[in-house]
Amino acid sequence: MRAIRPSAARQLWTAAERASFQRDGFILKHNIISAADARALALHYEDLFAGRFPTGIYPDEWHWREGISLPTAVREIVNGWKSSPAVARIALSPALGFAAADLLGWPSGSRLGQDDVLWKPAGSGGVGYHVDSAYISDQFQERDDSSVTIWIALDDADESNGAVEYAVGSHRWRLMNATNSGESATTSSFHGSEGDVAQPAYDAASRIGIKPPDVELRTMSVPIGSALFHSQDVWHGSRNNGHSTRHRRALAIHLLRRNVRFRTDRAPDYIYGRYVMGKGREEVGEAFFPITWAPAAATVEESVSDGEYERSEAARELERRGLIAPLYGEEEKEEETLVPPFERSDVEEEGADPAKGLLERLLARWSEREACE
Ligand SMILES: O=C(O)CCC(=O)C(=O)O
Q: What are the DSSP calls for 82-137, one per residue? A: GT-HHHHHHHT-HHHHHHHHHHHT-TT-EEEEEEEEEEE-TT--BEEEE-GGGTTG
Top mutation candidate among 26, 127, 130, 160 for ligand 1, by most atoms within 8 Å of CB = 127
127 lines ligand 1 (CB under 6 A): yes
> Which pTM does this prediction carry?
0.86
Cα 121 from Cα 97, distance rounded (Å): 29
Buried b / exposed e over 142-158, threshold 16 CB at 10 Å, is: ebebbbbbbbbbbbbbb
164 lines ligand 1 (CB under 6 A): yes
Cα 132 from Cα 164, distance rounded (Å): 13
Cα 76 from Cα 191, distance rounded (Å): 8
Residue 304 lies in a domain: yes
117 lines ligand 1 (CB under 6 A): no
Residue 352 lies in a domain: no
Residue 361 lies in a domain: no
The CATH number given to whatever domain includes residue 197 is 2.60.120.620
- Going residue by residue through the chain (373 aa), what tens digit of pLDDT does each one get? 344 444 455 568 999 999 999 999 999 999 999 999 999 999 999 999 999 999 999 999 999 999 999 999 999 999 999 999 999 999 999 999 999 999 999 999 999 999 999 999 999 999 999 999 999 999 999 999 999 999 999 999 999 999 999 999 999 998 776 555 544 455 567 776 667 999 999 999 999 999 999 999 999 999 999 999 999 999 999 999 999 999 999 999 999 999 999 999 998 899 999 999 999 999 999 999 999 998 876 443 333 444 567 777 777 878 887 777 766 654 444 457 777 765 433 333 444 444 444 445 555 555 555 565 4
228 lines ligand 1 (CB under 6 A): no
Question: What end-to-end distance do the CA atoms of the chain give, in Å?
Answer: 25
Residue 182 lies in a domain: yes
How far apart are the CA of 164 and the centre of ligand 1, in A? 6
329: how many CB neighbours lie within 10 A of its CB?
Answer: 17
Residue 354 lies in a domain: no
Question: Of ligand 1's atoms, which has the minimum distance to the CA of residue 236?
Answer: 7
Q: Specify the pLDDT at position 356.
A: 44
- Which residue has the CA at smallest separation from atom 6 of ligand 1? 237
Q: Specify the pLDDT at position 332.
A: 43
236 lines ligand 1 (CB under 6 A): yes
Note down the domain range covering 333. 6-343
How far apart are the CA of 107 and the centre of ligand 1, in A? 27
Cα 78 from Cα 86, distance rounded (Å): 14
How far apart are the CA of 215 and the centre of ligand 1, in A? 19
Q: Specify the pLDDT at position 132.
A: 96
| C-alpha count within 13 angstroms, C-beta hemisphere, residue 111 | 24
Could you tell me whether strands 26-29 and 61-63 are parallel, antiparallel, or unpaired per DSSP bridges?
unpaired
How far apart are the CA of 77 and the centre of ligand 1, in A? 12
Residue 283 lies in a domain: yes
136 lines ligand 1 (CB under 6 A): no
Cα 239 from Cα 196, distance rounded (Å): 8
Where do runs of H (alpha helix) occur along 155-207?
A: 183-186, 199-206
Distance of CA 69 to the CA centre of its chain: 24
136 backbone dihedrals φ, ψ, rounded to 5°: -110, -70
Handedness of CA 352, 354, 356, 360 (dihedral sign): positive
- Are 192 and 73 in contact, with CB atoms under 8 Å apart? yes
How far apart are the CA of 334 and the centre of ligand 1, in A? 31
Beta bridge partners of 218: 166
How far apart are the CA of 289 and the centre of ligand 1, in A? 20
How far apart are the CA of 237 and the centre of ligand 1, in A? 6
Q: How many domains does the chain have?
A: 1
Q: Specify the pLDDT at position 285.
A: 92
How far apart are the CA of 324 and the centre of ligand 1, in A? 25
Could you tell me whether strands 261-262 and 248-257 are parallel, antiparallel, or unpaired per DSSP bridges?
unpaired
Question: Of ligand 1's atoms, which has the minimum distance to the CA of residue 132?
Answer: 10
- Which residue has the CA at smallest separation from atom 4 of ligand 1? 237
Eight-class DSSP state of 223: -
Residue 368 lies in a domain: no
Q: Specify the pLDDT at position 325.
A: 72
Residue 370 lies in a domain: no
